[in-house]
Amino acid sequence: MNPVIEAINRRRSIRAYEPKPVPRDLVREVINAGNEAPSAMNSQPWRFVVVEDGAARKELLAAALPRAKEITEQVKDVDPERYEMIKKRYAELPDPVYYSAPTVIFVIGTGRYAAHSCPLACENMMVAAHSLGLGTCWVGFGAMAVEEPDVKALLELKDGDAVFGPILLGYPKGEPQRPPKKDAKVKWI
Ligand SMILES: Cc1cc2nc3c(=O)[nH]c(=O)nc-3n(C[C@H](O)[C@H](O)[C@H](O)COP(=O)(O)O)c2cc1C
């Protein structure tokens, strides 16, 4: 199979990582792939904050977890199956938000083009990481940590900055099954 198509198809969200750190040259390669993404008006409205430090990652978890739990309660009636799955993670995992990934990359967007452009950088990063034998996961719950002023200061966020991801990065522990995916809905004209 074409290697790009194969990487796109075989990338999975990874929720278990080896404790082994990711060498910085690989982290840079993943970020450079993000930086190559298309962007409106070629604005490249992103920057990347890489968190590797153990104490900082603990601070992120302490800030994000109560907020993630609060949001989870809101899906209880809307999607009971997903609710139970997430609750199980809270009960079983030491880090049910960032899954103890050794590297957490916040993609920070500024300006009017960020909303459309930054997710493309994120996807490039996830596919590139997969092609390098690394695992990733976009963790929306993880972005909630920035609601804590200390975390906002730690990441040097300014008012008006938008957070995409964060994208977890690490060596995957095992290979998850492909979740069910709907067939593409297409109308030909
Ligand atoms: C915007 C966004 C937010 C997400 N947030 C989370 C999250 O907080 N926690 C998590 O475990 N997975 C999160 N995911 C991963 C999705 O659950 C995952 O992409 C989906 O189940 C499909 O699985 P796949 O990525 O293996 O194809 C997020 C994905 C996206 C795109």
Going residue by residue through the chain, which has 189 residues, state the pLDDT in tens, using 9 for 90 and above: 899 999 999 999 999 999 999 999 999 999 999 999 999 999 999 999 999 999 999 999 999 999 999 999 999 999 999 999 999 999 999 999 999 999 999 999 999 999 999 999 999 999 999 999 999 999 999 999 999 999 999 999 999 999 999 999 999 999 999 999 999 999 999
- In angstroms, the Cα distances linking 186 to 128, 179, 180, 181, 189 are 27, 21, 18, 15, 10
In a domain, 188, yes or no: no
Q: How many angstroms is it from 132 CA to the middle of ligand 1?
A: 20
The answer to whether position 152 is within a domain reads yes
Q: Hey, whose CA ends up nearest to atom 1 of ligand 1?
A: 140
Within a domain: residue 87?
yes
3-state helix, strand, coil in the chain (%, to 5): 45, 15, 40
Is 183 a member of any domain? no
Amino acid 78: pLDDT: 94
CB of 138 shorter than 6 A to ligand 1: yes
What is the SS3 assignment for 113?
A: coil
Q: What predicted TM-score, i.e. pTM, was given to this entire model?
A: 0.97
Helix 114-131 to helix 24-35 angle (10° resolution) is 140
The reply to whether 16 falls in a domain is yes
Nearest to 16 by CA among 160, 188, 148, 175: 175
**Count of the separate structural domains present in the chain:** 1
In a domain, 7, yes or no: yes
Give pLDDT, residue 1: 86
Which of 13, 86, 100 gets mutated to test ligand 1 (max ligand atoms within 8 A of its CB)? Answer: 13
Neighbouring CB atoms inside 10 A of 163's CB total 22
Q: Which of 58, 85, 60, 87 is nearest to 144 (CA)?
A: 60
Report the C-alpha gap between 30 and 107 in whole angstroms: 12
Residue from 137, 146, 168, 181 to probe ligand 1 pocket by mutation (most atoms less than 8 Å from CB): 137
pLDDT at 51: 98
8 Å CB contact between 64 and 141: yes
The runs of H, that is alpha helices, within the chain are: 3-10, 24-35, 54-74, 80-92, 114-131, 149-154
Structural domain of 44: 3-170
- Residue 157 placed within a domain: yes
Give the pLDDT score at 184: 98
Distance 147 CA to ligand 1 centre (A): 20
User: Is 179 contained in some domain?
Assistant: no
CATH classification of the domain holding 45: 3.40.109.10
